[in-house]
């Protein structure tokens, strides 16, 4: 009988030892992430603002992670190809990517077959950068500020037109938000890119546009007239221009946001490590200076904050898309 108790006791010790070993090996595996390079998918072409910004962010993240981050450009279908590659990636943290407002907000609101829900269909890791757009007009137009634009539109129903770089772009949505907030009548004239849209305004073929900060040299030179920016407060890129909110349109803000995400179901400890690496990267003074010089606003977050931000953005823009009947081009 005594020997039976000894056998049971010995078996118990073996089980405890095994369980401790499993726990330790599991902990060691978690601590090992990452033990090889991480793939960062960018859904846009090399050389664009998104690509340039996140290559630099990735380089800084690598310093915290101890592994290199390799950028892979997966372009096409307005960002859908890259987005689908991210959400279908293995759930191990070795393939992550960049989502922006075009992918995370606009595509789901425009495309019934692309209903992505943050936290369910993909894992938000951290916000990264935001940028705004600027309202410009041809200097020959009879308005000089936001109030003048609204007064002109109300006095001339159907005669105000505005250019954008395409349906669902930040410039287009910003003007639709203005229309929604004020009830003015205006005609959208979409172009294939910022350059032709800007040329139409500069040449007087279209009255105005809300466009990217790349027009700054033309605003500074007087080629076009800057009216206002879409940030809640003044934008450092155009310090002399008021915001549309400052101009009297309550709670008006429109931005293009970008951040790092991964597939749904990433282990919490992996999300935590990737988030910490992103946050630490965006604290780097030299990186921040480079991003600000590109007209970008640096904005890191926790995964929960980023998830809630995207959900709020979807809720904010849903009625705008519906009212304007915005569809994919």
- Mean pLDDT score of the chain: 91
Residue 175, pLDDT > 50, answer: yes
The Cβ of residue 2 has, within 10 Å, a number of other Cβ atoms equal to: 6
Q: 37-130+256-324: which CATH topology? A: D-Maltodextrin-Binding Protein; domain 2 (3.40.190)
- Report the predicted TM-score, pTM, of the whole model to 2 decimal places: 0.85
Note the pLDDT of residue 17.
53
Rounded average pLDDT over 310-314: 97
Q: Report the CATH number of the 134-229 domain.
A: 3.40.190.10
Query: Which pLDDT tens digit goes with each residue over 239-283?
Result: 999 999 999 999 999 999 999 999 999 999 999 999 999 999 999
pLDDT band at 84 (very low <50, low <70, confident <90, very high): very high
H helices of 68-159, in order, are: 80-87, 101, 107-110, 146-155
Q: Which regions of the chain does DSSP assign to beta strands (E)? A: 38-42, 69-73, 95-100, 122-131, 134-137, 161-164, 187-190, 208-211, 225-229, 256-263, 297-298
Question: What does the domain layout of the chain look like in residue ranges?
Answer: 37-130+256-324, 134-229
Query: Which pLDDT tens digit goes with each residue over 111-164?
Result: 988 999 999 999 999 999 999 999 999 999 999 999 999 999 999 998 999 999
pLDDT band at 235 (very low <50, low <70, confident <90, very high): very high
- Please tell me if the domain spanning 37-130+256-324 has the same topology as the one spanning 134-229: yes
Note the pLDDT of residue 15.
52
Rounded average pLDDT over 216-239: 95
Question: In which order are the strands placed within the sheet that holds 225-229?
Answer: 187-190, 161-164, 208-211, 134-137, 225-229
Measured CA to CA, the distance from residue 300 to residue 213 in angstroms comes to 21
Measured CA to CA, the distance from residue 307 to residue 234 in angstroms comes to 26
């Amino acid at each position: 009988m005594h020997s039976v108790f000894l056998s049971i006791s010995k078996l118990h010790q073996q089980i405890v030892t095994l369980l401790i070993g499993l726990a330790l090996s599991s902990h060691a595996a978690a601590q090992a992430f990452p033990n090889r390079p991480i793939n960062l998918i960018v859904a846009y072409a090399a050389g664009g603002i998104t690509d340039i910004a996140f290559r630099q962010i990735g380089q800084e993240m690598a310093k915290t992670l101890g592994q290199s981050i390799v950028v892979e450009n997966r372009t096409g279908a307005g960002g859908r190809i890259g987005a689908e590659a991210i959400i279908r990636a293995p759930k191990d943290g070795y393939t992550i990517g960049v989502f922006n407002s075009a992918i995370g907000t606009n595509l789901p609101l425009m495309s019934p077959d692309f209903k992505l829900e943050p936290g369910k269909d993909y894992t938000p890791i951290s916000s990264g950068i935001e940028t705004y757009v600027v309202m410009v007009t041809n200097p020959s137009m009879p308005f000089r500020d936001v109030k003048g634009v609204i007064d002109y539109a109300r006095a001339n129903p159907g005669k105000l037109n505005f250019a954008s770089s395409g349906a669902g772009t930040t410039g287009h949505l910003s003007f639709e938000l203005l229309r929604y907030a004020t009830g003015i009548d205006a005609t959208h004239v979409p172009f294939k890119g910022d350059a032709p849209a800007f040329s139409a305004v500069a040449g007087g073929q279209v009255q105005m546009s809300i466009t990217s900060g790349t027009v700054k040299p033309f605003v500074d030179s007087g080629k076009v007239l800057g009216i206002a920016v879409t940030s809640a407060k003044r934008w450092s890129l155009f310090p002399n221009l008021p915001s549309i909110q400052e101009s009297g349109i309550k709670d008006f803000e429109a931005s293009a946001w970008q951040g790092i995400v991964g597939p749904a179901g990433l282990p919490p400890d992996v999300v935590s490590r990737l988030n910490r690496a992103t946050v630490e990267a965006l604290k780097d003074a030299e990186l921040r200076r480079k991003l600000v010089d590109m007209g970008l606003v640096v904005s890191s977050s926790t995964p929960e904050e980023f998830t809630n931000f995207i959900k709020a953005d979807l809720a904010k823009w849903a009625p705008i898309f519906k009212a304007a009947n915005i569809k994919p081009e």
